[in-house]
Structure 1
């Protein structure tokens, strides 16, 4: 293999497991690669995009002989000023014993171009800088690769994409490519999402557009299809005959904290449920695709979404934590929900009658994201243990990634008593010494490889908005009650009542305790 697939330079900081990871990606294309981060001076770029690029560089996926990174924003700063702004974020949370040299090497690959997002001068200058890099790397026309990462508000996507199309994209289709990564939110409802999709679709083909939902890059989310379709004992259980209900939960133990103005414009359903949790639902509920090709997997996700029945008002509970409107950026009379429980029903042979409970909230009593598959009661319960709780399969997405099966066992001792316990796969214990990649690392690498499996396709986005837009419009008009709840609580009591009505049986007296790491 040549030097172009993954960088073969020997660097002290690259561990043996990283080398193995790189070899699994030998299919990476060769040629000059320019990564352009638009909105380079913003929080998203500093906290997520540049650190993800740095980690890919450290692991050898970005070879310095091929890659250059360009930051673009309106702020008038120099290359060195941008480097200093992002330096601290590259070091955050890392073992600093062997990083500083890598940081300096990486930062030398970063250059900065200042310009507006709606005029050609800045994008012509950007194109000139990229072309200089390609000329220096002896890139032939049509072999260069340009990845534009839009770490920007969606309102400027159309103008930015128009400028890229006219002035900054790869000049030839002969071997090279131009790809565009856009962040959510993709609109606020069906109409605005379709309008945005149409504007981008007039400029770029669908294979060039990568709509990023970082939940699809999470380790445990990427494990869902493997769990379901590579393990024999799940195949006969994963259906309406055995499963009583499925919860997909996102909980935060803090409020909006400086994002009140942004959050109030969107609310918890647009911010979390309509995208992140719905994407997880798709992978939990899909039928087996005919292959692992990205389009076959995305076809199955669209089929699931098209089978979702319209949301009924009685299947929704909304809440707002007390003190939310104390944020000076939030209107005093705001009715924006900071908590929502929504029950979806999938009308197909596998899932008819199984409630899918999507729940998200801020300022609650814990922080976690998980999938909870609750199975039906054991028929003919001779041990009289149903009151202790049902069997559950729980996938903890964050924090402390884990999978555990909650089951009933005999209490150790001379008496025949039953107790709830678990079979536990906690990643921190089982895979000690293995670093789980951040979602953005995985998704940026997928973009470079041209793998769209973990990105949202246009028709998928459209159907997702069709599901939630009627409900969102009723909320926006004030037609849905928003119940106040105390910060640090479980949320509105009505949400627990809705879960009970849907058939969820809460377990009392059992708490999953993550195992302690051993030395």
Structure 2
């Protein structure tokens, strides 16, 4: 379950080009060594990932090195400068051999997601020996920039979790040089077929030395251009020597109708087998561990039902607001952005029946079944909120409506809590309470399972309130991953005073300072390996939108105003009234 400080697969050996090249200098006079200085300033103090401090890309002489090997000519519409083309071909030839090649294309490569998540994940996979020996990564976007400028942009986000050099492997700087040699930037339009043909020609040239190829296209782009990009990629860039796979980022539509339209448009060019709908939350370590905990520990199996579980809470909170992204967020809101995908996926994995096997289709079959058993969501079982400004210690925290990108007078909820019910034999009558919000008092995501109190409890009078009697299992997804169980225990001494004690598995304590892989690393690796367990199937998406669309339509058609709550608070009071209707107290308010 935990990563060890050793390679889990053979690492590709360094294979420098057989051609000696002079140090290139771009139009700004920036050499490879100069770039090393820039990277050192950016990363010398250590970068962070999800709040964790990460080792920077530091070379053996105490500064960052990054071999770029490109001339100052941007790659436009697949036209490559001679020097760049020769170097890239030399790199491909140097590692060509038996086995297939991976051609990975990031559409929207100039965006934040590519910079902060996709490229760091690809580098981490390469550094840990998880990518094929033969690979190339193509960044594609409309922005006009050189390949070198693009590498400058992404370099500041690359980090090394583990230092293999201490175990006889390649150091981080050496691996970064090799990785950058396999990256190229292509400028082109998303709706021009000729640009995609040029991209295809460039990839075919790089792939000519191998007999089998796997092409992966990552659509890191706004949903408004999913269809033209997917269509052009499918029509002009389909792999002729192997498989083509397309990763689609959420949101997968805005409601049932738009989701069906998107699904139909993609299905006209791509098979379901080729389509990978990614929800990065499913790549979290504790989410993948959820099924392991459920189905490999016999102690939980007889308890995982309505007879022993009183309620289940799935909580997601962020301690920041929209931060200038209000225009995008306002079009979707917290229910579409978090609940309909992240939290519903967690709920499905938690509540599904045991699958026939760990095969992707068997797991996804059970997820679809349990979503279809969910009762229509009633407005009476929903609480909405929107954060307002707050002045604390002389610092002003802005309201949602203070965001200049948010429409004036918007009723978009930034907080939602709701009760869901699953009408099947296992969960009949058990409330599943979901809660998600922005600008709350802390950043956290967790699952809380509150068990029923012991019938005829001899010690009930000594414990007071019902929540003090209830056992509780907590699965903390982020930050500081942990699993812990609250049990009732006698306080040491002569009396009979009882208290709750925590039996806990703190990942940092149990597995040392292991650096857990980022969710994108896990999911991208699964795409490369063709493992679809953690990706969303079209019928699963359909079932999810059937559940949420009637509620969303009612909220928007009736213009239901959200309750205001202060920035940095625990959310609107309405959420507590909602929980109290089911005799439940939110566990994350401790």
Does the TM-score normalized on the shorter chain lie above 0.5?
yes
Aligned equivalent of 1:177, options 240, 243, 250: 243
Aligned residues between the structures = 482
Distance 2:483 2:184 in 1: 42
Alpha-carbon contact 2:482-2:504 (below 8 Å) kept: yes
Alpha-carbon contact 2:124-2:160 (below 8 Å) kept: no
2:520 aligned residue: 440
Q: CA RMSD in A?
A: 2.0
Cα separation, partners in 2 of 1:469 and 1:120, compared to 1, 3 Å:
same
What is the deviation of 1:421? 1.4
Distance 2:582 2:574 in 1: 12
Cα separation, partners in 2 of 1:386 and 1:239, compared to 1, 3 Å:
farther
Are 1:75 and 2:143 counterparts? Answer: yes
Alpha-carbon contact 1:7-1:62 (below 8 Å) kept: no
4+ runs of 1 displaced by more than 6 Å? 92-97
Alpha-carbon contact 1:377-1:386 (below 8 Å) kept: no
- Map 1:120-269 onto structure 2 (within 5 A): 120-135=193-208, 138-140=209-211, 143-171=212-240, 176-269=242-335
Are 1:109 and 2:167 counterparts? Answer: no
What is the deviation of 1:91? 3.1
- Map 1:380-459 onto structure 2 (within 5 A): 380-383=456-459, 384=461, 385-387=463-465, 388-459=468-539
Distance 2:587 2:311 in 1: 14
What is the deviation of 1:477? 2.0
Distance 1:483 1:325 in 2: 13
DSSP-derived class of the 2:156 partner = helix
Distance 1:47 1:478 in 2: 38
Distance 2:308 2:534 in 1: 29
Distance 2:457 2:587 in 1: 17
Tell which deviates more after alignment, 473-482 or 37-46: 473-482
Alpha-carbon contact 1:321-1:486 (below 8 Å) kept: yes
1:21 aligned residue: none
Aligned equivalent of 2:555, options 475, 478, 493: 475
Distance 2:464 2:476 in 1: 24
DSSP-derived class of the 2:371 partner = helix
What is the deviation of 1:486? 1.0
Distance 2:417 2:9 in 1: 45
Distance 1:440 1:506 in 2: 30
- Map 1:22-37 onto structure 2 (within 5 A): 30-37=99-106
What is the deviation of 1:129? 1.1
DSSP-derived class of the 1:89 partner = coil
Alpha-carbon contact 2:333-2:414 (below 8 Å) kept: yes
What is the deviation of 1:420? 1.3
DSSP-derived class of the 2:232 partner = helix
DSSP-derived class of the 1:466 partner = helix
Distance 1:491 1:92 in 2: 37
Distance 2:511 2:220 in 1: 33
Aligned equivalent of 1:366, options 442, 446, 450: 442
- Map 1:481-496 onto structure 2 (within 5 A): 481-496=561-576
Alpha-carbon contact 2:482-2:505 (below 8 Å) kept: yes
Alpha-carbon contact 2:283-2:522 (below 8 Å) kept: yes
Cα separation, partners in 2 of 1:93 and 1:268, compared to 1, 3 Å:
farther
What is the deviation of 1:365? 1.1
Distance 1:112 1:274 in 2: 35
Alpha-carbon contact 1:115-1:121 (below 8 Å) kept: no
Distance 1:96 1:496 in 2: 50
What is the deviation of 1:165? 1.6
TM-score (norm. length: structure 2)? 0.79
Q: Which structure would you say has the larger Rg?
A: 2
Distance 2:143 2:383 in 1: 43
Distance 1:317 1:8 in 2: 51
Structure 1: state its 5+ residue gaps.
Answer: 14-28, 512-519
What is the deviation of 1:505? 3.7
Distance 2:439 2:457 in 1: 39
TM-score (norm. length: structure 1)? 0.90
DSSP-derived class of the 1:35 partner = strand
